[in-house]
Structure 1
Amino acid sequence: MNIREAELKDAAAIQVLLEQLGYPTDDGFIAKRLGELSKLTDHFDIVYELNEEVLGFVSLHFIPQIAFEADYAVISFFIVDDNSRSLGIGKELEEYCTSLAVERKCKRILVHSNARRTDAHRFYLRQGFVEYPKDFVKFL
């Protein structure tokens, strides 16, 4: 399998992927965040690697819920390289995240996707996701 937890050496490739989605970052920021987040037990940064090149990235969180016995899995970033889409990479990454969520006995996975990313929406629907009530955000 070409899927593994992200390492500090992946920071530059992850930065490029994030920029493809419109999330520019300063050099060194992703490496810093990878180092900080790798210490958490409820957070996983995952990459898809082929021939030593990172072609996909997922940031997955497990959030305890007071009203449920199980955690809630949340995918906050899900990116496949622009030039590597429709090769099954996203499907493999999503299925890997689902398997992690099942191992933790989660009953649901939430994924955030910008309204303008209609291709991504079709992908999520094919993977068994359903649209859910609106999210609201308050910027601080």
Structure 2
Amino acid sequence: MGIRKARVGDWKSVCGLLEQLDYYDTESFIREKIEALINHPDEELLVYEISGKVIAFISIHYIPQLALKGDFARISYFAVDSTIRSQGIGRDIEAHCTDLAIKRNCDRIEVHCHSRRKDAHRFYARQGYTESPNYFMKRL
């Protein structure tokens, strides 16, 4: 089937993929999060499905900019099942999201990727991303 919009019923597959990213215990709230994302006008939650099985997902947020002509798109979560990586699925999803971002008047895509995810860093570099080290966070 390929890339499609996520549905709340995809929650188990998304949980399994999140576990591969070391995000555990999401079962108690994931359905509500998925529903909020798929109903928000500035969000995209997409899955990649093969033979009825979700094997990847990506969450994109569109961020309008006040002082810049173009807006931003931000990848918040992106996972391809570890058993089928390096087969072009991630590249296809990222390219699809790039096209969606361009249609939404975005002139860049951002992603925060933890330093321990070296394979993901290589993937993003191959897709044309460059490092921008000034990233600050405040925990609430």
- Unpaired runs of 5+ in structure 1? none
Tell me how far apart the structure 2 counterparts of residues 119 and 85 of structure 1 sit (CA, whole Å). Answer: 10
The offset of 1:70, in angstroms, is: 2.2
- 1:89–1:131 distance in 2 versus 1, CA, 3 Å: same
Matches within 5 A, 1:7-26: 7-26=7-26
* TM-score, L = length of structure 1: 0.95
Q: Is 1:77–1:112's contact at 8 Å kept on the other side of the alignment?
A: no
Please give the per-residue CA displacement for 1:65-102, whole angstroms capped at 9, x wherever unaligned. Answer: 11112221000001111101011110001001100011
Q: Does 1:4 align with 2:4?
A: yes
Matched with 2:60 is: 60
Q: Which runs of 4+ in 1 moved over 3 A?
A: none
Matched with 2:137 is: 137
The offset of 1:28, in angstroms, is: 4.0
How many correspondences in the alignment? 140
* TM-score, L = length of structure 2: 0.95
Matched with 1:45 is: 45
- Unpaired runs of 5+ in structure 2? none
Letter in 1 for 2:64: P
Superposition RMSD in Å: 1.1
Identity %: 46
